[in-house]
Amino acid sequence: MLPLILGLEGPTLTDADRDRIAKWQPAGFILFTRNIVDASQTRALTDELRELSEHSPIIGIDNEGGRVWRTAGLCPTPPNASTFGEKGSYKQSAWFGALAGRHLEMLGVNMNFAPDLDIDHQPEDSNALRGRCWGRDSQSVIDHAGNFSRWQRKNGVLSCGKHFPAGGRARVDPHHDLPVVEATLDELLATDLLPYTALAPELDAIMIAHIRYPALDSELPSSLSRRIITDLLRNQLGYEGLILTDDLDMGAITNGYGRGRDFELAWLAGNDLPLLCHELDTLDLAAEAFGKLPSDRRFDIEDRLEKALRKLPIPPAFSIEKLDKCHRELSDLTKELTGEECFTIEARTQSPVEDY
């Protein structure tokens, strides 16, 4: 088994997809809008992924609500996290998590790369996190995102908090290839890291941001930094779950470090599951990089991963009736918050992640 999360080419598996799975047995897969046509097709795709895998694979997706809702073609889009934080009750955030879980488990998806645990420090900016944060202070994020996560997990879908350590502080810097956060560790511990310390025991995974934190690591971005991942998240904060990178196909990563070396650095830093979402024909280079790791590092990754995969929930039998009921309830919840049955999404794309 190769410890990474792999993207797929389209709504049905190609011969190239099947060859990659047979040869390398990826630990998991990520679905994007390009992989989804309708509910029955999506469930057939996830069923085939399980059949082709020699282990129980993670099958993940980004379904946060609002403009990051990969299954928008299957049901009315629910509100984004900010709308729940501004207008919703904690009970409504919990109900959203429950419905998001029911929706995804019926499709055969067992991990949602949500909730977002970033604090909205820059509400006036139009950036990649616009609308995706549950609040402007740590307690609001803990309460709303925690309820979403808790009830999503109760309904058959694992949670992944992101973007560690503090995506909500990031600003574009013309002198750097990646967004930059200038905060010190003490400042992060007092604010941005509180949702992680509060929710860590019930997060199945945490995703690391592609951001530079000069006060924490003057050389490497957070996704490739041992100081941030192993020293801070593992050792200081005591997190024991799976650690994922954001997509390593981001240009600043591949251009800066090269395919193969980027994966090697990610695993050495303490990540368990790097994401390879788009440049699928480079999988062999990633696999070669894993083979170069010290044996004790490979053992640590494989041991943690095997324990995690044994806990993956088994999806229920597919039922279009149950799925339709869930979608009606999502529409009802949306109408409670917004007065409309489908959330209105801003037409202008604010992040490449929206177009995948």
Q: What is the pLDDT of residue 141?
A: 97
| CATH number, residue 264 | 3.20.20.300
Q: What is the pLDDT of residue 347?
A: 53
Q: What is the pLDDT of residue 341?
A: 87
Residue 31 and residue 8 in contact, taking contact as beta carbons nearer than 8 Å: yes
- Rounded Cα distance between 170 and 179, Å, is 6
Residue 270 domain boundaries: 2-75+84-355
Backbone torsion region of residue 160, taken as left when φ is above 0, otherwise alpha when ψ lies between -120 and 50, otherwise beta: beta
3-class DSSP assignment, residue 273: strand
Q: What is the pLDDT of residue 292?
A: 96
Q: What is the pLDDT of residue 98?
A: 98
- Rounded Cα distance between 138 and 355, Å, is 29
Q: Which residues are catalytic?
A: 175, 246
Mean pLDDT for back-to-back runs of 10 residues, the chain (356 residues): 98 97 98 97 98 98 96 94 96 98 98 97 80 96 98 97 94 85 96 97 96 96 98 97 96 92 98 97 97 97 96 95 97 95 69 51
CA dihedral sign of residues 209, 63, 105, 156: positive
- Rounded Cα distance between 73 and 190, Å, is 40
Q: What is the pLDDT of residue 346?
A: 65
The total of structural domains in the chain comes to 1
* pTM of the shown model: 0.95
Query: Of 57, 128, 83, nearest to 350 (Cα)?
Result: 128
By DSSP bridging, strand 273-276 and strand 2-6 are parallel
125-346-208-263 Cα dihedral, nearest 10 degrees = -120
